[in-house]
Amino acid sequence: MYATSENEAVGNFIHYLQETLSCVTSAQLIGFQQSQNLRKVWFNPNARVSKVGGGHRYLFVTQVFTVTKVPGQPRFFKVNTREYNYRLSDSQNVEDDDIIAYHWHPHDFEVRYPSSARQGSQ
């Protein structure tokens, strides 16, 4: 979906990501402009997700993105994801192990495509 301004592109992106995450939590995403070109959206604090049998888990969501003009259509803007980190944990402590994690940060490591990984899991 293209937008007619940078702010509209950011608003649309956050709205649809929030709508997607609303199926598991009512926590609200927070967004800010990290630098001249980078923007970031995340849960702060991490989202508490209720388990059916009682208790909670914690959802960590962080996404970094840019807003650029659409090639060949300079009046329109779109969001481009630069990196993301989605984690589900039994603990709110960032240092504790994840149940599952999906992350992609191609500028920090040699892996240049999205992946899911958990050390030692099959």
Q: pTM here?
A: 0.81
pLDDT tens digit at each of 122 positions of the chain: 789 999 999 999 999 999 999 999 999 999 999 898 999 999 999 999 999 999 999 999 999 999 999 999 989 999 999 999 999 999 988 888 899 999 888 776 665 555 554 444 43
**Residues 106/89, Cβ–Cβ less than 8 Å:** no
Per-residue confidence (pLDDT) for residue 120, from 0 to 100: 41
Residues 62 and 85: their CA atoms lie apart, in Å, by 5
